[in-house]
Amino acid sequence: MVRSLLLVPLLAAAGGGVWLARGALLRWRDLRAAATYELAGEQRPMLVRAAGAMVCGVCVTVLTLLTALGTFGALGGGGADGTAGPDGSFGSAGSLGSFGSFADRFDGAEDGAAGPGGGRQAAPPVGPADAVAASAPAAAAGAGAAAAAVPTPSPAPVVSRFDSVGHPGGGELLQSAVPGPDGHPRNVRVWLPAQYAKDPNARFPVVVMHAATPRKTADAEVPDVFEGLASAVQSARSKPFILVAPEAPNGTAHPCELVAAAPMAVADDAALRTTIAATFRTLPPGPAAWGTLGVEDGAPCAAAAGLARPDLYGAAAAVSGRYDAAALVRTGAEAPATGTPRLLLAAGKADTAGLDAARKLQSALRGGTGAAARAEVRISDNATDYSADRIRLRLVRQAAQYLGDALGKAS
């Protein structure tokens, strides 16, 4: 009887310790990711979870010793051949059966807490609804063959867990791992404007920002992009929108050249759209509410995505880019028949090469076929300031205003 009473807190302490230790590990990984991008991370949640895991470990040790002492007492009172002793308890066979049952239960609790992918892949946030969902497989396993024969409906899209890594531009920056077009997980960063937290009922447009460096997100290349977006919103030049920055694909030193060469394979990032739409309060994916952005080396990616999929992206803004006009004209010519690409090509007033590349692309698209010939191309050439960083900030503001005007309103 004493051993049975001890097993309950022992299992509770073990399960709690595993859950807290996993939480501390995930927070530690988030802090390392934040340090990579020179962002400040909150250490307190990790320390609290680690301390809780240590306390649970001490409790498990003490309860295990007490349980073992009770087991040895039962071994002394029971028969060595597994027959009942004077007090009704069994000998070695009965004790081993109790220990095996405990081990199975502990393994089940630990496996349930670990989660798929060791925290690398996107997982649902921990909460009451997730606890119910996590218990569903165990309930189904115990239902028997009759329940297994009943068909089950298709699962709903899984809400991914995005962990906060900073608050640039007055908003919130989050990160998770989401499967890429090739099926392999890649880091995705999401910036929520300040208005997202202020109005819990509003839904926002989405802008996908492309990176030009393999295995990096665009905010690592343009760290002041969030300040530019927030400044445009605060000055009423742009409507607020959610910025999504997926990690650039590996396998080539210039991912944007890959996008221009095979836009239909890369621009249709269905896994990304499904995950973002299921996790955040976004307007439905489509040209009325989703756009794309690229700055400097990422500009050709945005131009290619906007020209290749006008049925997915309602507007594209390319800032300070250099373009392969012939490749982009072919991209537009092969685009779906529906939709009209809308493209902003922006460069600083003193950026002669950038403005020349933008005008050549505009002329080439006019002489193309299909969606390329239908493309509505605007050129911005008036940004000027005393430093290159200030000019880039102004260009990002212009891109935010263009995208905010082109996409749907937050509702």
Instruction: Check residue 17 and give its pLDDT.
Output: 80
Q: What is the pTM of this model?
A: 0.61
Is the distance from CB of 218 to CB of 245 less than 8 angstroms? yes
Given a contact cutoff of 8 angstroms between Cβ atoms, the answer to whether 205 and 239 are in contact is yes
Question: Residue 355 has what pLDDT?
Answer: 95
pLDDT < 50 positions in the chain? 37, 74-156, 409-411
Rg of the chain over all Cα atoms, to the nearest angstrom: 28
Q: Residue 25 and residue 10: Cα distance in Å, rounded?
A: 22
Q: What was the pLDDT predicted at 143?
A: 39
DSSP 122-157: --PPPSHHHHHHHHHHHHHHTT-HHHHTS--PPPPP
Closest CA to 316 of 254, 250, 382, 365: 365
Q: Looking up tokens 């007492």, which residue turns up?
A: 73
Supply 89's token pair.
């308890």
- What pLDDT, on a 0 to 100 scale, did the predictor assign at position 320? 93
pLDDT of residue 261: 56
- DSSP string for 189-233: EEEE-HHHHH-TT--B-EEEEE-SSBT--HHHHSTTHHHHHHHHH
Helix, coil or strand: residue 81:
coil
